Structure 1
Amino acid sequence: MKIQPTAYIRLILTLLGGWFLVTAMVSCKKETPKKEEPIPFVRLLKDRQFKSNILKRDIDYAVLLPAEYENSNDSFPVVYLLHGFGDNETAWITGGLIQYYVDQNAASTVPMIYVMPVGFNSYYVNKYNGQYPYMDMFVNELVPLVDSLFRTKTDPNQRAVMGYSMGGYGAMIMPVKNPDVFKTGVALSMSFRTNEQYLDEPQSVFDYQWGPIFGGYGMSGEARFTDYFKQYSPFQFLQNTDDQSMTGLNLFFDCGDDEESLSETNNLLHSMLRDRSIKHEYRMRSGYHSWDYWKKSLPEALKYISYAVQQKPYPDENNLLDYGVEISSDKILLHQVEASEQIYHVVLPSDYSTTTSDYPVILVFHDEEINVPPQVSNKILSLLNNQIVAAKLPASIIVEVPVGASQPDQDVIQKLINEVDAEYRISDKREEWIAIGNKNGGRLAFDLVSQHSEKIHACLLFDALLPDNPDITDTSIIYYLDITDEGLQYKTNNELYLNLRKNEVPHEYRVRQGLASDNDFLNGIFEAIGFINKNLKS
């Protein structure tokens, strides 16, 4: 059938109208918007990078944000974490497990932002020839960048630097050279050299590690002491009494006593700071150049930084540790040395009356503070007795000798030992005798051991008043030196430590928080229980 033109046009219009109607109906349907997934909060930001115009290269860094960052608008203090020679910006994450330790110590610290930049092998300073101004990059690019990207507190009191080894030096020198940017430095096993060590450094080591940074490449002798080095070595600029660059800062140093040379480096710096009355904290514990040591430093280091950013004074000494139940007075046997005014106390093991055994001896010379009640003697006896009851020490006879400024001579002490020997069943094996003393009592213990090495196996000295330039060569005695960082005898104790190291005499060295008080003596004994147990062979 033939379709007329007009009918054809009407058909086309009808079809088009239907198409427009369907299209309009479809287009009128509301599209359901896609639900946007929230971006999860990530505390540890790794693999970050920025272009340094100063160094003309990319700088890698990582950031650890506090857990409180997500749900608040607060700003936070910033801690810059510096790595050691040969490491990179990942070291504090993989080796230091920084997020774990920050979270573990959250109860004793304020929330803070931690920034971990790559430091190359720069020692975190500008090179002497201006060719690699790392410190300039750090202060003028990295710090402003962090402040622009994160909610940071920008006052210098709210910024700290902490580092280990090479980073320990960086943590010290950054605040010294930039006090308007950083007020706090925490140096763990600070890697640097005393003047003497710098001169003795083998040429190949010097030319690789020090000469390219501080100048003097290829030089020996005092030619190594370039003008630039003198500006950046604390062993140089602290000799200038007019130099105040380390005054007014919050400085914390911590180093292991088993370090090859850095323990001597850090000890000397502590002594120089003490000589100049520059406020700081210093710790020395058992350990060497390792993450195992530095991770054990973190609880107090983080606490110290937390105090600093809150601008709170750090406590001069620890609280007295819990020494346990006080011993009853009827168990303390009072004696007086014949033909002498010297008294002493004896505490016997609980099984003494039911056995026929001979017992080891713990001989304690206790320097009593003026106007301190006699209960301090009871606390010492209680502490040691409780450790015996808890089987943390072998059953032993405890002999406590209180001494004052007018200490007894060695003849009186010899009489005392003879009386104890005659009265009680004590061991005649030198491995089962230990002498302990603090202050003047420490000098008594030191002299006794020096004169009677056949009798005593180990000697523990706490803030002891030692002779100048001691020279100990007897390797059959093991020494435990313990001094508080505010103690007055820091020079002579360090001299003895150096002497024992040089002569390879067995020893341990501790520097603790404290003021050399009776409480500090008790805390020191408590911390030495493991050493006493190890060396009191029953």
Structure 2
Amino acid sequence: MIKIIWLRYYRRLSFALMMALLLTAFFGCGKEKAVPDDEPFVRLVEDKVLESKLLNYQVKYAVLLPEEYETSSDEYPVVYLLHGFGDNHSAWYKGGAIQYYADFYITETGPAIYVMPQGFNSYYVNKFSGTFPYMDMFVQELVPLIDNQFRTKKDPSQRAVMGYSMGGYGALILPALNPDVFEISVPLSMSFRTDDQYMNQSQDGWDFQFGAVFGGNGATGENRLTDYFKLHSPFHFFDKEDLTAFSKLQIFLDCGDDEESLHITNGALHNLLRDRGFEHVYRVRNGDHSWNYWHGALKEAMVFIGNGFKGLPHPKEPLPVNIGELLPEAEYTVEDVQNSSITLGVFKPVSYENTTDSFPVIYYFNDLEGGSREANRQQLFSLLNNKMNSKAIVDALVIEIPVGSYPIDAGLFEDILAQLGSAYRIKENKQNHIIISNGSGCENALDLLTDYQDYFNACFLYSGKISENNYAAPGLYYYIDMTDNADAYKGNYNLFLDMRENNISHEYRVRQGTQSFQAFLNGLDNSMSLINVYLKK
């Protein structure tokens, strides 16, 4: 009997204990869940949403914060990053890898907040019909939202806009029409059109891409140039004598020389800004419409943005190339040209005296308008000699021909070639003869090549003082290199367009610098690999 009672007691006790444990576990777990863990700091927030009252539509955006944002109380400048036609707000952090590049260039920019909004296919302006006022949303809703959500610097000088393609146009038009909000503009491969391009674009493409935004759907020719388009075209609002409305606008334009048509748009805008004396930066490098090109642009674009944030002017001149050891004057000669008053500088590589081989030749047309001929010649020979010694280019004879008040015509040049051919061991194939020239020497070289295109393999032109109606003789390769402050900016640009139109092999570069011998040496150094290619062919 006692055994039965004990068994019943044991069962009841076990049940009570079990229930107590279950209840403790249940409420204990509930109590722990009621105290949430701290949310981890996330630098890249990918899919934030702005409920736009102006658009009556959701606008997605992403934000990249500085690594130090969580542990600091500082305020930060803001870079708005705009995507191209057909892309979305994720483009800059996916294909653009902006977190990597923001960290890589943080020394240049300083810590900053990067904002990537959805741009739809709006071209970042208000639609002409008033039905989709995107620019108003950007300025009146997005910027205040970012300023309220994050610790931002709110002065216009602390806001930059950078974008590619359609976003490149947005990066120009937003600061241009809203100078009280943004001051720094970085258009990369800006997608827009000159008036001529706009009037001649195919109807379907134009209606879809531009007519729907700027008005005039179905229009052709000049009827496409609506008043609304002109209000938003840099070829109209910059084409004025008085540009004081844009006095604080800082522009960095960059567009590749292999673009299908945007090289025309961006080059024409550079020319217009030069015509109007409006300070800006313009770059043309090797490349097309791709992330590979835009990533390359960031190397200087980030410096430009950082200088803007710091209130510093962007340098007009790069660091000078390191020429290396100067060649003693005894290592080259100066020779008279028979039946002429001019002299030639002649450099022979060290290997010339140690072999009986023939050598390729670099003919240098030396512009005498800047500096001392002797000093310039020594620097040029020294740079090329050091490149030959380091095997950056093949060993070659270098012939310096003065060009200035005494231009070299075809008859005199024939005498020079004959005299050199009898005095030196020179390879006879055109593949082993190239011209390099600077300043006024470029136009002289172009004139001679109409008669000597079968003698030369390539012609390298640096900041050439080239007339606007010059052209290139076919049958050889051209390298056109100028600084964005070069004197004959239109002549170089027109020559580039002529080569594109006539399928003449070429490269086109626009670099940092002014019209100077130093700029020529910098450009020459940048092109050594191509010089080597065309000397060896």
Aligned position for 1:479:
478
TM-score by length of 2: 0.91
Aligned position for 1:281:
281
Q: Does the 8 A contact of 1:446 with 1:461 survive in 2? A: no
Shift of 1:90: 0.8
SS in 1 for 2:509: strand
Aligned position for 2:508:
509
Return the alpha-carbon distance in structure 2 between the equivalents of residues 525 and 510 of structure 1.
12
More deviation in 501-510 or 401-410? 401-410
Query: What CA deviation, in whole Å up to 9, does each residue of 1:426-449 have, x standing for no partner?
Result: 111111111011111112222222
Aligned position for 2:446:
446
Return the alpha-carbon distance in structure 2 between the equivalents of residues 319 and 88 of structure 1.
38
Aligned position for 2:498:
499
Aligned position for 2:365:
365
Alignment CA distance shift 1:328-1:214 (3 Å): same
Query: What CA deviation, in whole Å up to 9, does each residue of 1:408-462 have, x standing for no partner?
Result: 4443333222222111111111111110111111122222222211111111111
Aligned position for 2:15:
none
Q: Does the 8 A contact of 2:370 with 2:516 survive in 1? A: no
2:522 counterpart of 1:523? yes
Q: Does the 8 A contact of 2:252 with 2:301 survive in 1? A: yes
Return the alpha-carbon distance in structure 2 between the equivalents of residues 33 and 220 of structure 1.
67
Aligned position for 2:489:
490
Describe how 1:354-433 pairs up with structure 2 within 5 A.
354-372=354-372, 374-433=374-433
Return the alpha-carbon distance in structure 2 between the equivalents of residues 537 and 338 of structure 1.
30
Q: What is the identity, as a one-letter code, of the residue corresponding to 1:377?
A: R
Aligned position for 2:334:
334
Aligned position for 2:214:
214
2:536 counterpart of 1:537? yes
Q: How many residues align?
A: 507
Describe how 1:105-254 pairs up with structure 2 within 5 A.
105-242=105-242, 244-254=244-254
Shift of 1:108: 2.4
Aligned position for 1:48:
48
Aligned position for 1:267:
267
Q: What is the identity, as a one-letter code, of the residue corresponding to 2:433?
A: W
Query: What CA deviation, in whole Å up to 9, does each residue of 1:509-532 have, x standing for no partner?
Result: 111111021110000001111221
Alignment CA distance shift 1:34-1:334 (3 Å): farther
Q: Does the 8 A contact of 2:453 with 2:474 survive in 1? A: no
More deviation in 104-113 or 236-245? 236-245
Q: What is the identity, as a one-letter code, of the residue corresponding to 2:205?
A: V
Q: Does the 8 A contact of 1:342 with 1:408 survive in 2? A: no
SS in 2 for 1:374: helix
Return the alpha-carbon distance in structure 2 between the equivalents of residues 321 and 110 of structure 1.
27
Shift of 1:467: 3.1
Return the alpha-carbon distance in structure 2 between the equivalents of residues 379 and 39 of structure 1.
62
Return the alpha-carbon distance in structure 2 between the equivalents of residues 531 and 414 of structure 1.
27
Shift of 1:156: 0.5
Q: Does the 8 A contact of 1:462 with 1:482 survive in 2? A: yes
Alignment CA distance shift 1:333-1:243 (3 Å): closer
Q: Does the 8 A contact of 1:247 with 1:279 survive in 2? A: no
Aligned position for 1:3:
none
Return the alpha-carbon distance in structure 1 between the equivalents of residues 55 and 34 of structure 2.
45
Q: Does the 8 A contact of 2:409 with 2:448 survive in 1? A: no
Aligned position for 2:22:
none
Return the alpha-carbon distance in structure 1 between the equivalents of residues 100 and 238 of structure 2.
37
SS in 2 for 1:135: helix
More deviation in 349-358 or 54-63? 349-358
Query: What CA deviation, in whole Å up to 9, does each residue of 1:34-83 have, x standing for no partner?
Result: 99755433222211112111111111111111223233211111110000
Shift of 1:368: 3.3
More deviation in 271-280 or 444-453? 444-453
Shift of 1:265: 0.8
SS in 2 for 1:398: strand
Return the alpha-carbon distance in structure 1 between the equivalents of residues 266 and 43 of structure 2.
34
Q: What is the identity, as a one-letter code, of the residue corresponding to 1:487?
A: A
SS in 2 for 1:513: strand
More deviation in 411-420 or 35-44? 35-44
Return the alpha-carbon distance in structure 1 between the equivalents of residues 482 and 32 of structure 2.
73
Return the alpha-carbon distance in structure 2 between the equivalents of residues 322 and 271 of structure 1.
31
SS in 2 for 1:454: coil
SS in 2 for 1:364: strand
Shift of 1:266: 0.5
Q: What is the identity, as a one-letter code, of the residue corresponding to 2:307?
A: Y
More deviation in 33-42 or 389-398? 33-42
SS in 2 for 1:94: coil
SS in 1 for 2:255: strand
Query: What CA deviation, in whole Å up to 9, does each residue of 1:204-248 have, x standing for no partner?
Result: 001111111000001111111111001001122333434554443
Return the alpha-carbon distance in structure 1 between the equivalents of residues 159 and 504 of structure 2.
43
Alignment CA distance shift 1:71-1:369 (3 Å): farther
| Long gaps (5+) in structure 1 | 1-30
The CA RMSD over aligned residues, in Å, is 2.0
Return the alpha-carbon distance in structure 2 between the equivalents of residues 287 and 424 of structure 1.
40
Alignment CA distance shift 1:326-1:371 (3 Å): closer
Q: Does the 8 A contact of 1:256 with 1:289 survive in 2? A: yes
Shift of 1:373: 6.7
TM-score by length of 1: 0.90
SS in 2 for 1:363: strand
Return the alpha-carbon distance in structure 2 between the equivalents of residues 333 and 41 of structure 1.
69
More deviation in 340-349 or 59-68? 340-349
Aligned position for 2:3:
none
Return the alpha-carbon distance in structure 2 between the equivalents of residues 38 and 332 of structure 1.
74
| Long gaps (5+) in structure 2 | 1-30
Shift of 1:330: 2.5
Q: Does the 8 A contact of 1:407 with 1:440 survive in 2? A: no
SS in 2 for 1:175: helix
Shift of 1:143: 0.3
Q: Does the 8 A contact of 1:377 with 1:402 survive in 2? A: no
Return the alpha-carbon distance in structure 1 between the equivalents of residues 39 and 378 of structure 2.
62
Query: What CA deviation, in whole Å up to 9, does each residue of 1:254-306 have, x standing for no partner?
Result: 00011011001100010001000011100001111001100000010010011
Return the alpha-carbon distance in structure 2 between the equivalents of residues 467 and 278 of structure 1.
22
Return the alpha-carbon distance in structure 2 between the equivalents of residues 246 and 412 of structure 1.
51
Shift of 1:482: 1.0
Return the alpha-carbon distance in structure 2 between the equivalents of residues 486 and 446 of structure 1.
22
SS in 2 for 1:509: strand
Return the alpha-carbon distance in structure 2 between the equivalents of residues 39 and 280 of structure 1.
44
More deviation in 159-168 or 497-506? 497-506
Return the alpha-carbon distance in structure 2 between the equivalents of residues 334 and 406 of structure 1.
17
Shift of 1:364: 1.1
Return the alpha-carbon distance in structure 2 between the equivalents of residues 271 and 34 of structure 1.
65
Aligned position for 1:21:
none
